[in-house]
Structure 1
Amino acid sequence: MTQLLSQKLAKNENGADIPDKNQFIKNLGLLETIDRAKNALDKRTGGTVNGNLHVTQSVHIGDNDSGLRANGDGNVAFYANNAKVAYWNNDRLHWLKSVEIDGTINAHSNLHISWGGRTAIYQENGDVHGPIWGGHLSAWLNTQINNRGAKNTAHLATNGWWKCGDSGLIRQWGITPPLNVGQIYTVSLPCPVPHEILSATATVKYKGIASEGNLGTYVEIVGKSLIISADYTRTGIKAPRTWELVCY
């Protein structure tokens, strides 16, 4: 009897006198429960998950109104203050609010922007394709430039010229050397006349009036040449003539 009593557990030991505690826990079926408790995340300090984490509803960050929520099969939504700001699925990321980026966007394909039934495509070569251009921006610019024709050109000098790039009209001007009375002078044009002289004028470049009368000047167009005659004076005053003509 004394031997049997010595094998009994004492109440005041509260299980401390169990000979094989591991076997006791195993007999109670608590090994899995203890293992889970041992590897559980401490909500006070956090922890590390080495395997997959499966969440069927939501992951809250900070409080219950912000974080990730299930948004249907294969779809996860971003929420902030109970407002859905974005969601993603196996096709794409849909961002519903404004996006502010302080760094660089590196896209490995053309950038598509769609709104109001229209789509513009920014391409890797810097070109833009959109309905406002009727195709590519580069083609639109080339058409505009070609339709404007050649730009105007000019030679700004005492004897110079100006040419209209669109029409080909040419204005020429210059000053002759001092001409004697009755002298006939063929002007050396600073720009050859491509087709025809349309009009020409000449004026005496002289500060005074001769005592016997004004110094005379006559202009004659001969083919593609301009001829200036000095006339109407008996004083022998020599004076240059300024001239101007229009041709094409």
Structure 2
Amino acid sequence: MKAKKDKQERLNLVKKIARNTFWGLMVTLVITLMMVVVATITQPKYLPVMSNNIFELKYVADWVFLIGIVLLIVLGGFILYKTVKKQSVWNFVFSNLALLMTSSGLGFIVLSFLLPKNKLTVKAVGRAVKLVNISYFLTFIIIAITTMFAVYISRKYVDKNNWYLYFALLPYIIWAGWTYQQYQHWQSFLSAKNFNIQRLTSMFIYYQSHGTKIDMNLMFEGYKSCAFVVLIAFIYLLTVGGVQLVFKVKEKI
């Protein structure tokens, strides 16, 4: 009788290990698939023809990307509204990713107003250089304000465990560090001995005369970083949503 009971316990243990392994592999599969998608769509050969300033609306991809950004801002606001009041680990992750996606999307639109018209004169390029400095300043303000909101919506979680504060702040630490690094590169470029506005203008004119998509808008790293953060936050939202779905299916089986 005892031998039969021990055998049944071992069998149950094996089943439990197999079941947990299966669901662990499912979660890994979801995350891996999202990583593959990101790695694929970010390859230059797969990217559609798009303006450096999508608000010029020259190509179909400009319209698609702009509409997509607006929809992601709305989606982020909706998810934030639905998850911010109900406390759970899932809602903590969803609300913070939604806040990141919404704020960076709004930042993208705000910074787009600084983008210059591609009029290649020494005066226009000089003005664009000044606007780049302003755009970095505004990017840091956007990061700071969003960080304060992240701390605010996570305050009840932080009361329970300080690790929630770390995870709430982590995206903004990375974003701010990345932006600061780009700003340092920009300042090094401006302070180079051979730099002057005339040469920079001549470079833009040369590239555009040869049909290369290099213009003044490429100097605006804050604008590009906001677009990148929107997409990354959305991809993470999809990934977390997929993982949550796996766990929900697991509970019902």
Using structure 1 for the length normalisation, give the TM-score. 0.23
**Greater relative contact order, per chain length (Cα 8 Å cut-off, separation 6+):** 2
Structure having the higher Rg: 1
Using the size of structure 2 for normalisation, the TM-score is 0.23
Structure having the larger proportion of residues in helix: 2
As a proportion of its length, which structure holds more strand? 1
